[in-house]
Structure formats: C-alpha cells, structure tokens
Amino acid sequence: MQGAPSDPAGLHHVPVLADEVLTGLNVQPGGRFIDGTLGGGGHTRLLLQHTRLTRTEAYRNSRADGVAGGQVLGLDVDPAAVHRVRKRFPGEISAGRLSVAQAPFDQIERIARQHGFTGVDGVLLDLGLSSFQLDTPARGFAFRHDGPLDMRFDPSTGSSAAELINDSSREEIADILYQYGEERHSRSIARAIVASRPVSTTVELADIVRRAVRSRSRQNIHPATRTFQALRIAVNDELGQLARAMAQIPALLRPGGRVAIIAFHSLEDRLVKEWMRDNARKFRSDPTLPAGGQEQIPVLALCTRKPIVPAAAEIEENPRSRSAKLRIAEKMPEQ
Ligand SMILES: C[S@@+](CC[C@H](N)C(=O)[O-])C[C@H]1O[C@@H](n2cnc3c(N)ncnc32)[C@H](O)[C@@H]1O
C-alpha cells in the first residue's frame, strides 16, 4: 500500500519497502520481472528504472527480440489502475519494456505465458489496496468517506459489499467478520447489520458497527476497521486469490529467480509464510526409495526467515506502510 495525500489523482504512489524489494528481488540491468499488483505503478517504475541497460550493455546483450533493457509485465485486476499505469508509462510500453494486463493474479501463469514471460528473474505481489482506491469515495473501501458500499477491486464483476451483507444470513455475516476480520464482536455486529438492512453506504455501515460495539470496544482503532477489512477480503476472495497465485509462481521463475510478497494483515502474512515454508521442504513420494518412499525436493529457498518491515522513517513518511510485511524466497535449481 502507499500514499501521497497531495496527489489525489493517484499518479505518483509511494511504493512500500522500495529498497528492500529491489534488493530482495536482486534486480539487475536487463532483468525480467512480473509485478502482479500494479496499483499506481510505483514498484513497476523502480523495476523499469533498475533493469534499464546502458547503451553499451544493450549492445553487448543485444537481444533477439530487439528490446534493449529489462522488461516488466504488470497486472492489476482493477481497470482504473491499469488505465492509470498505461497513461503513466507510454514510452516504456511502446518500447516493449512494459506490458500491462487487466487480470486477477490468480491468472498469472496464463497471462505470463501469453506475454512470453516465463523463466523470469522475479515476481512481486504487493497485496491489498492502493491509496487511489482507498481515497476514492465511489469505490466504497473507506469508512471515513461516504460512498456506495462497493469494495470490489474490479467493479464490473461479482457482488459488492452491500449485496453481500444485504443477501447473507446473520450467521454468514458473523462468520465473515470473525474469519477475515478476527472481530471479537462479530455476532453483535452481524445482528445489528441484519436489523438495519438494507445497508447501502460506507458511513451507514460504519455507524451501525460503532453503535453495536460502542460500550464493549477497548480498541484504539476505529471500531469499523475490522468489519471493513473482513468484507473487503470476502468480496474480492483475497485469500483464495493469493493461494491460487502463489501456487503458480514457481513455474514462472528461472532457477535462482525470486518471489517477493508484501502482506498487510496477519491472515495474508500467515498464508505467505506457510506457502514459502511448505515449498522450502516439499516431499515427493517415490516407492523405489527406502525410508518410506519420501524424498525431499525443496522448490524454494527462504531468503527471509522473519518478515522485513518498514523502518521508523518510512512509517513516519508513509503511515500506510506501518503494517507491511515483506517475505522473499528463491527458486531452487531444477532437480
Ligand atoms: C497495494 S496496491 C499496489 C501498489 C503498487 N505496488 C505501487 O507501488 O503502486 C495493490 C494493488 O493490487 C491490486 N489487486 C488486489 N488484488 C488483486 C488480484 N487478485 N489480482 C490483481 N490485482 C490485485 C489492487 O487493485 C491494487 O491496485
């Protein structure tokens, strides 16, 4: 996530953990990378900058496809993000250094193959939502702005948050709030939502939650924070998307290529941590082997045992970076 309050058009987002991502992905001139979450194009801009070859390097490495310099393939499921990035980098797109696609990242392998992006040097996922989305009331992500209760990353498909809470049972709503928001007051909030239906705006929902937990909440965050997070995760199937995308990433990396994932809440981070850990100690069944027919074939090597978090100075400059956790792993040589 990133933020630049003086930039309401969202054209110049501040990428989170920028140096850490560049170092972690081992970005070198001539490299080829996939940015699975373009957002405002903040990380993509850095990838383009740091993969650029000098004239001499370009001559020495002269590539069969005539592209001098590294290449980036960027995806975002949000059509507005894709439109913004296309407008931001027309030169790189026409030079063949940047390809952009509007697609959810659980389609990453198909899109990458379509664009010839296999055997890449790195894949980045910077999860969650961009400042542009958060700060646009019409998108319905923020309880601080009044807007329709939408929350879809791609507003052209699926059900909005309003449809979800107006059409689900009290138990289903409580489960969503508990599972995806780790909300202790899930049942009382669900009861209050059902009693106030139909609910159609962000501020209406925020007020319902505030009234439902008023006397019980000891949190120092806004009482609606967890409810909004939970609904956003459910509306966009964020954890399902992440799990399906991660499963495809190793096949896209060259041996030694890296995957970097920035998570913004504990559910995402746990999924990333477990996926990296499981792929760093994968077992293959082989009945010809002794010892129960199991052979260990790790797919990834962990580059970070603990997540990398922003330094105090970054948090001060960009408070939205405060919950970021970056994990990195490297693809092992084929066996
Ligand atoms: C935190 S922002 C990325 C910011 C970007 N790294 C930058 O520096 O500008 C996350 C972006 O991921 C996109 N996104 C979220 N879920 C997605 C998914 N399943 N597939 C593709 N994009 C997704 C959102 O639409 C949003 O634009």
Each residue's pLDDT tens digit, 89-102: 999 999 999 999 99
- The reported pLDDT for the residue numbered 214 is 80
- The reported pLDDT for the residue numbered 219 is 60
In a domain, 244, yes or no: yes
Write down which residue in 185, 204, 235 finishes a domain: 235
46 and 111 fall within a common domain: yes
- The reported pLDDT for the residue numbered 153 is 98
- The reported pLDDT for the residue numbered 133 is 94
227 and 275 fall within a common domain: no
Tell me the average pLDDT of the chain.
90
Instruction: Give the number of domains in the chain.
Output: 2
256 and 159 fall within a common domain: no
- The reported pLDDT for the residue numbered 284 is 64
75 lines ligand 1 (CB under 6 A): yes
56 and 176 fall within a common domain: no
Band (pLDDT 50/70/90 cuts) for residue 5 is very low
* Centroid of ligand 1 to alpha carbon of 130 (angstroms): 7
Atom number of ligand 1 nearest to Cα 78: 25
In a domain, 31, yes or no: yes
1 lines ligand 1 (CB under 6 A): yes
- The 10s digit of each residue's pLDDT in 282-304 is 666 666 766 666 677 889 999 99
322 and 203 fall within a common domain: no
- For residue 137, pLDDT over 70 is answered with yes
> Percentage of residues in the chain with pLDDT exceeding 90?
81
226 and 297 fall within a common domain: no
Higher-confidence residue of 65 and 255: namely: 255
Band (pLDDT 50/70/90 cuts) for residue 8 is very low
- The reported pLDDT for the residue numbered 10 is 43
263 and 325 fall within a common domain: yes
Higher-confidence residue of 216 and 260: namely: 260
123 lines ligand 1 (CB under 6 A): no
182 and 313 fall within a common domain: no
In a domain, 326, yes or no: yes
- For residue 1, pLDDT over 50 is answered with no
Domain that holds residue 74: 18-132+238-331
- The 10s digit of each residue's pLDDT in 220-232 is 788 999 999 999 9
- The reported pLDDT for the residue numbered 190 is 98
Query: What is the model's pTM?
Result: 0.92
In a domain, 170, yes or no: yes
In a domain, 137, yes or no: no
39 lines ligand 1 (CB under 6 A): yes
In a domain, 13, yes or no: no
183 lines ligand 1 (CB under 6 A): no
Write the CATH number for 205. Answer: 1.10.150.170
Band (pLDDT 50/70/90 cuts) for residue 217 is low
Write the CATH number for 124. Answer: 3.40.50.150
- The reported pLDDT for the residue numbered 221 is 80
34 and 127 fall within a common domain: yes
In a domain, 138, yes or no: no
- For residue 9, pLDDT over 60 is answered with no
Mean pLDDT of 96-124: 97
* Centroid of ligand 1 to alpha carbon of 246 (angstroms): 15
* Centroid of ligand 1 to alpha carbon of 152 (angstroms): 12
164 and 230 fall within a common domain: yes
In a domain, 140, yes or no: no
127 and 30 fall within a common domain: yes
> Percentage of residues in the chain with pLDDT exceeding 70?
86
Write down which residue in 212, 235, 258 finishes a domain: 235
- The 10s digit of each residue's pLDDT in 157-180 is 999 999 999 999 999 999 999 999
Residue nearest to atom 10 of ligand 1 (CA): 129
230 and 260 fall within a common domain: no
Write down which residue in 169, 202, 235 finishes a domain: 235
* Centroid of ligand 1 to alpha carbon of 44 (angstroms): 12
Q: Closest Cα partner for 321 from 80, 15, 105?
A: 15
